[in-house]
């Protein structure tokens, strides 16, 4: 894994992200080098924050720890960043078992060297270096902490309103952003269905948004403390010169909303004109003791994940004897059935593996499964999508890959798989898994907001 630092002005410039260098953050690391970034521990002020232990470094690798003057490496007035994707880990190029980098604040000893994603400061420096003042993909983020509710408005054509509250009768007792951890903060929007009539609706509309791409992904958390018959409908109101009042289009209806917990939802949009997103709550037919609540809305011009694997009561799972967790079955857009396995058996690392399984379309599909990329993302549930450091791994189904004998690794599950059982007792075939035993350390898993409300989310795209 290597790259020159900055533009070498030689035409096409090489960087290496080959075998064992294909983690997303490793790719980010090498591209930041090409864009002009030195390692974080090469800053001129690094000795204020870390100590380099030279006699623990492999002979001939000392140059990797060079420090550069302000005239060579500009910090761009950004503080030293222990969380940078450009920082070496404490074990970098060690000649034994002792750390080569010691942080002056011991709490950051196991933080340096993260290879999950850009840090906030990485992005700040990149934007300053290239004078970027806006994003091509970000549209909006709202956690309702401010009274202006991010410029949202109460919609027309309804007979009730959404209210900004910090708790609601019947639940939730706190918002999703802070989970009750911060005094005098923690707000969300709530539609009280207990005082509404059957069929009553409440609409909440975002500010006007201006798309650049033509595809968007809406993400939000939803809490139902009322009836399972309550519904939420997501609309877009799109404006054109000929239709100044906008055209309302239903994008998704959400029914049978679980009672009593915050749950993550994604909605795929395809909007090309200026628009608003409209959240409509609907009072169901059964008695309702509470209502509907929404929080932590994010809208970006990116692709939504195909599937969301929610793992509840995660800390209990870590403490249990059975620490092997298989996802429900899913189907890819091309019809391949698959499953993901989260391996919690190690005492240091979490593993993750992708499996093809027998499915309804197998007789119509091409085998061995050719060149499907599966991306498995452990979601950092920070309320603002711009501040997340999610952890992801991708694998590709190479149809020529073998099992070490004459069989193909990604062949039809019923041909080479073994029999497995779903929780309901249904039998199916599952191939060998492919992935990594070092997806994330338990220490990093408990950092950021990977575990929130005792929920973990794995986002899946194939």
Omega within 30 of 0 (cis) for the link into 208: no
pTM given for the model: 0.92
Task: Provide the pLDDT for residue 364.
Answer: 98
State whether 455 and 320 are in the same domain. Answer: yes
**DSSP structure string for 292-342:** EEEEEEEEESSPPPSEEEEE-SHHHHHHSS--EEEPPPEE-TTS-EEEEEE
Count of CB atoms within 10 A of residue 74's CB? Answer: 16
State whether 146 and 110 are in the same domain. Answer: no
Is 219 a known active-site residue?
no
Residue 122 sits in a domain whose CATH number is 3.40.390.10
* Backbone angles phi and psi of 40, in degrees to 5: -60, -40
State whether 60 and 43 are in the same domain. Answer: yes
In 368-417, beta strands by DSSP E? 373-378, 391-396
Asked if 431 contacts 415 with a C-beta cutoff of 8 angstroms, the reply is: no
Three-point CA angle 293, 296, 301, nearest 5°: 125
- What residues pair up with 373 in beta bridges, in sequence order? 396
Out of 30, 40, 219, 301, the active site residue is 30
State whether 122 and 146 are in the same domain. Answer: no
Task: Provide the pLDDT for residue 110.
Answer: 92
Give, as one character, the DSSP assignment of residue 206. P
- Which helix H or strand E contains 30, and what residues bound it? helix 24-34
Task: Provide the pLDDT for residue 3.
Answer: 93
Q: In this structure, are strands 291-300 and 337-343 parallel, antiparallel, or unpaired? A: unpaired
Residue 391 sits in a domain whose CATH number is 2.60.210.10
- Select from 250, 268, 300 the last residue of a domain: 300
- Select from 78, 106, 129 the last residue of a domain: 129
Report the Cα 215 to chain-centroid distance in Å: 18
- Is 385 strand, coil or helix? helix
Cα 86 from Cα 379, distance rounded (Å): 21
State whether 260 and 317 are in the same domain. Answer: no
Quick one: which of 221, 215, 296 has its CA closest to 257? 221
Asked if 416 contacts 431 with a C-beta cutoff of 8 angstroms, the reply is: yes
Asked if 359 contacts 335 with a C-beta cutoff of 8 angstroms, the reply is: yes
461 CB burial (10 A radius; 0-12, 13-18, 19+):
middle
- What is the domain count for the chain? 3
For tokens 């408990």, name the residue: 446
State whether 203 and 94 are in the same domain. Answer: no
Residue 285 sits in a domain whose CATH number is 2.60.120.200
State whether 113 and 212 are in the same domain. Answer: no
Cα 20 from Cα 31, distance rounded (Å): 16
State whether 55 and 107 are in the same domain. Answer: yes
State whether 54 and 123 are in the same domain. Answer: yes
Quick one: which of 203, 187, 180 has its CA closest to 142? 187
Q: Is the dihedral of CA 293, 297, 299, 303 positive or negative?
A: negative
Quick one: which of 171, 152, 170, 173 has its CA closest to 161? 152
State whether 355 and 236 are in the same domain. Answer: no
In 98-156, beta strands by DSSP E? 101-103, 138-142, 153-154
CA R_g for the chain: 25
Task: Provide the pLDDT for residue 301.
Answer: 98
Count of CB atoms within 10 A of residue 182's CB? Answer: 12
State whether 122 and 149 are in the same domain. Answer: no
Q: Which residue numbers belong to the known binding site?
A: 29, 33, 39
Tens-level pLDDT at each residue, the chain (462 residues):
889 999 999 989 899 988 888 889 999 999 999 999 999 999 999 999 999 999 999 999 999 999 999 999 999 999 999 999 999 999 999 999 999 999 999 999 999 999 999 999 999 999 999 999 888 899 999 999 999 999 999 998 899 999 999 999 999 999 999 998 888 889 999 999 999 999 999 999 999 999 999 999 999 999 999 999 999 999 999 999 999 999 999 999 999 999 999 999 999 999 999 999 999 999 998 888 899 999 999 999 999 999 999 999 999 999 887 788 999 999 999 999 999 999 999 999 999 999 999 999 999 999 999 999 999 999 999 999 999 999 999 999 999 999 988 899 999 999 999 999 999 999 999 999 999 999 999 999 988 999 999 999 999 999
Q: Which residue numbers belong to the known binding site for Zn(2+)?
A: 29, 33, 39
Task: Provide the pLDDT for residue 18.
Answer: 82
Task: Provide the pLDDT for residue 22.
Answer: 80
Largest CA distance in the chain: 76
State whether 16 and 104 are in the same domain. Answer: yes
- Select from 279, 300, 321 the last residue of a domain: 300
- Supply the range of the domain harboring residue 296: 138-300
- What residues pair up with 211 in beta bridges, in sequence order? none
């Amino acid at each position: 894994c290597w790259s020159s630092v900055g533009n070498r002005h030689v035409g096409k410039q090489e960087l290496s992200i080959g075998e064992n260098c294909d983690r997303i953050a490793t790719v980010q690391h090498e591209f930041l080098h090409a864009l002009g970034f030195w390692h974080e521990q090469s800053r001129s002020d690094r000795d204020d924050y870390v100590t380099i232990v030279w006699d623990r470094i492999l002979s001939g690798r000392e140059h990797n720890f060079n420090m550069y003057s302000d005239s060579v490496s500009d910090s761009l007035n950004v503080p030293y960043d222990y969380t940078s994707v450009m920082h070496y880990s404490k074990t970098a190029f060690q000649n034994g078992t002792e750390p080569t980098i010691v942080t002056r604040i011991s709490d950051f000893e196991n933080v340096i060297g993260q290879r999950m994603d850009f840090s906030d400061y990485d992005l700040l420096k990149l934007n300053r270096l290239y004078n970027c003042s806006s994003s091509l993909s970000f549209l909006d983020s709202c956690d309702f902490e401010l009274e202006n509710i991010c410029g949202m408005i109460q919609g027309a054509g309804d007979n009730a309103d959404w209210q900004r509250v910090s708790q609601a009768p019947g639940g939730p007792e706190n918002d999703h952003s802070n989970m009750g951890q911060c005094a005098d903060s923690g707000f969300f929007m709530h539609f009280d269905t207990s005082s509404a009539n059957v069929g009553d609706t409440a609409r909440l509309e975002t500010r006007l948004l201006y798309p650049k791409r033509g595809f968007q992904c809406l993400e939000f958390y939803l809490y139902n403390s009322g009836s399972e018959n309550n519904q939420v409908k997501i609309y877009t109101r799109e404006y054109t010169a000929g239709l100044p009042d906008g055209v309302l289009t239903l994008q998704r209806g959400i029914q049978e909303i679980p009672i009593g917990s915050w749950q993550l939802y994604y909605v795929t949009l395809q909007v090309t004109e200026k628009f608003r997103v409209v959240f409509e709550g609907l009072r169901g037919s059964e008695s309702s003791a509470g209502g509907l609540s929404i929080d932590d809305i994010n809208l970006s011009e990116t692709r939504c994940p195909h599937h969301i694997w929610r793992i509840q009561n995660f800390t209990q799972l870590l403490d249990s004897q059975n620490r092997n967790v298989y996802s429900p079955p899913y189907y890819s857009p091309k019809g391949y059935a698959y499953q993901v396995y989260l391996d919690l058996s190690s005492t240091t690392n979490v593993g993750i593996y992708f499996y093809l399984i027998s499915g309804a379309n197998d007789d119509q599909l091409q085998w061995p499964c050719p060149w499907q990329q599966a991306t498995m993302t452990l979601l950092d549930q920070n309320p603002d999508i711009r501040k997340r450091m999610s952890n992801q791994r991708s694998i590709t189904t190479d149809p020529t890959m073998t099992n070490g004998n004459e069989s193909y690794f990604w062949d039809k599950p019923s041909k080479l798989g073994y029999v497995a059982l779903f929780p309901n007792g249904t039998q199916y075939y599952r191939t060998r898994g492919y992935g990594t035993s070092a997806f994330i350390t338990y220490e990093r898993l408990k950092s950021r907001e990977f575990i929130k409300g005792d929920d973990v989310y794995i986002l899946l795209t194939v």
